[in-house]
Amino acid sequence: MKRYKNSVPMDEVFCEIFDTEEKLKEYLSYAFDEYLQDGNFNVFYRSLEMVIKARYTMKGFAKKVDLSKMGLYNIVKGKKEPKITTLAKILKELDLTLKIA
């Protein structure tokens, strides 16, 4: 990937802004609420990707949740919808829960 002079990679900026567990949880919660309102699950999946990248490598995280790296990428890129059991594994590994209110 080409890097431009005076530019900062998005992952670095994200990690600076969302530098605590609480902020990461709020960010993902907001993305899920957006999905509930507009039905676009891709925003939630991309947010999930950013939270994973803030804590792990994609390859390392995929191994932790018993997915292939490509399988995890297919989920966060919106190419494949995960089963609820897969989503539950991902959230559990991130120490997150889904609540129904």
What's the pLDDT tens digit per position in 37-76? 988 888 888 888 988 988 888 999 999 999 999 999 999 9
- Chain mean pLDDT for the chain: 85
Q: Which residues contact 78 (CB under 8 A, 6 or more apart)?
A: 41, 42, 45, 46
CB 42 within 8 A of CB 49: no
Q: Distances in Å between the alpha carbon of 56 and those of 49, 52, 62?
A: 10, 6, 9
Q: What is the pTM of this model?
A: 0.77
Q: In the chain, where are the structural domains located?
A: 10-93
